[in-house]
Amino acid sequence: MQMSSIVRTTADILFPFILIYGFYIVIHGHLTPGGGFQGGAVLASGVLLLLFAYRYNESTRIVKKTVMKTIESGGLLLFIITALSAMLLGAGFFFNWAASGGMIFGDLVAFGSTAANLNTGGLIPIMNLAVGIEVVGAISVILLALLSGIKEKI
């Protein structure tokens, strides 16, 4: 079944804005409500919009199952490597060595109620990013597996 051109044009226009909003939720995970899981779910609903607006054969040319599996595994790998990187420095598993270190996400958190600084948190934003990548891959794999089981392809 082919969706109407109104649906497809709306999906095309909305898709980048949904992606930007999901990425905003992921990257501000340590400052505002939201985080890796919620942002990843919003990103996956953007992918879902593409899957519904186009035919199965057309959309699987953009969203491939093997690519999504690779993305999911990459997110998990990034998470566990970030957690293990503290052990290379002699600290415990999950130790936040990058907080207040002056490097990426390494600013010192100002005392008192000041404006929020995105460049803080150490390993926490990196782990949020890893969880977001993992969730968007996993939910896309679930939806693709559901869609591929239907006889009459939509």
DSSP string across 85-126: HHHHTTS-TT--TTTTSSSTT-PPPPSSS----TT--THHHH
What residues from 48 to 67 belong to the interface with another protein (CB under 8 A)?
A: 48, 52
Shortest distance, CB of residue 105 to another protein, whole angstroms?
21
Whole-angstrom distance, CA of residue 121 vs CA of residue 100: 8
Shortest distance, CB of residue 110 to another protein, whole angstroms?
24
What residues from 101 to 140 belong to the interface with another protein (CB under 8 A)?
A: 139
Element housing 29 (H / E): none
For residue 89, state whether it binds another protein (rule: CB under 8 A).
no
From candidates 8, 15, 24, 45, binder to another protein by CB under 8 A: 45
Q: How far apart are the first and last CA of the chain?
A: 5
For residue 34, state whether it binds another protein (rule: CB under 8 A).
yes
Among residues 123 and 138, whose Cβ is nearest to another protein? 138
Interacting span for another protein (CB under 8 A) from 4-12, 40-48, 67-75, 112-120:
40-48
Whole-angstrom distance, CA of residue 51 vs CA of residue 8: 10
